[in-house]
Amino acid sequence: MAVSELQWALIAAGGAAVVAVVAYNKWQESRHRKRAEQAFGGEQPDVLLEPGLHEPRIGDGVLPVDADEPPARPVREQPIGRGSPSCPLDASELADCVVRIEAIEALSASRLWTACAESMGDVGKPLRWYGFEDASNLWVEVDKDSAGAHHWFAAALQLVDRRGPVGETELVRFFHGLQRVADQFLAVPAELPPRNEVLAKAQELDSFCASVDVQIGLNVVAREAPFVGTKIRALAESQGWVLAEDGGFHAVDGEGRELFSVSNLDGAAFSPEEMRTLHTRGITLLLDVPRIANGVQAFEQMLVSARQLAETLGGTVVDDNNSPFGDQEAHVIRGQIDHFQGRMNSRGLEPGGEVARRLFAT
């Protein structure tokens, strides 16, 4: 049957309408995609497999936005002229695996922290959480008791401690836990680093830390009669040493940071009660080289204290081999401390700094 001109016109009009609808849908899809990318920081890869995206880091300035069209929700910017935010506990690119999470709606800090604790459990290494405060323009540590809500959070998993480097099982638990929490709150983990790179970095850092993990010990041993606990305590308190829960006295600097510790050579803990009847054949003074800011200066103070204790208690200063410790031995030790702390500084790991105290925590 012949098709009339009217029918041809209707067919053409219908086809044009279909094309228009398809074009409109594509435009809408593109528009919504652009809004989503602006809100969530761009198209997201599989966070457990792909290298991370370059989202704002702790210490970064302005969060990136697409200049073509305003985002669906404004991304918070730092005011021009204000310093970059810094983490109060110094989350470190050297020592931590730091992963940021961005949420469209502000999340309760305590609620997110609780969800993370439930989702991850014990990851085997110290883990700290931070939230970015728009008002103060700073990252602040958050925990289960934190008030307030944030759009940006950061999780910092410590890569190494004195037990060794983070393992693959621990790292997978951390990454998967982050993803579960992000899914729960409709948030986006950003810049998740490749697993093999994190593990290699942890192994290398652990090897370096082991190479500079040095402790200097001096023993003051009784020449004849054992040392009396009450006299040891009186001498310690006159020096301003603090008796801690670990059963040892601790010499500290003006800022309360430990210089060296003093413990019982026989192994028994010092305590206020026990020291009334304590008798011991000696005491040990110990300097933890990576955890002390000025190792040589701290060693000098420890050596002076050891000699004073020996003179007052009737003892002798010896090394771990029970050999007398004199000026020549002290000169060698000063050189060793300089060497190890110099290596730390060359690595960007400040002896006695916050990061060093975390990595070499006992």
Fold annotation for 213-359: Cell Division Protein Zipa; Chain: A, (3.30.1400)
Tokens read off for 244: 């801690």
In terms of DSSP bridges, do strands 149-158 and 258-264 run parallel, antiparallel, or are they unpaired?
Answer: unpaired
Tokens read off for 359: 């990595």
C-alpha span between 312 and 283 (Å, rounded): 13
pTM > 0.85: yes or no? no
Q: Classify residue 136 by burial, with Cβ atoms within 10 Å: 0-12, 13-18, 19+.
A: exposed
- Which of 354, 348, 320 lies closest to 212, judged by CA? 348
Q: Where do the structural domains in the chain lie, given as residue ranges? A: 34-74+84-206, 213-359
pLDDT on residue 4: 53
CA dihedral over 211, 350, 89, 133, signed as positive or negative:
negative
Residue corresponding to tokens 């983070």: 166
Identical fold, 34-74+84-206 and 213-359:
yes
- Give me the tens of pLDDT residue by residue for the chain, a chain 362 residues long: 454 554 544 444 454 444 444 443 443 444 444 443 443 344 444 433 344 434 444 444 333 334 444 443 333 344 333 333 444 345 688 999 999 888 888 999 999 999 988 888 778 899 999 999 888 888 889 998 998 999 899 999 999 999 999 999 999 999 999 999 999 998 888 778 999 999 999 999 999 999 999 999 999 999 999 999 999 999 999 999 999 999 999 999 988 899 999 999 998 999 999 999 999 999 999 999 999 999 999 999 999 999 999 999 999 999 999 999 999 999 999 999 999 999 999 999 999 999 999 999 97
Fold annotation for 34-74+84-206: Cell Division Protein Zipa; Chain: A, (3.30.1400)
226-253 residue pLDDT tens: 999 999 999 999 999 999 999 999 999 9
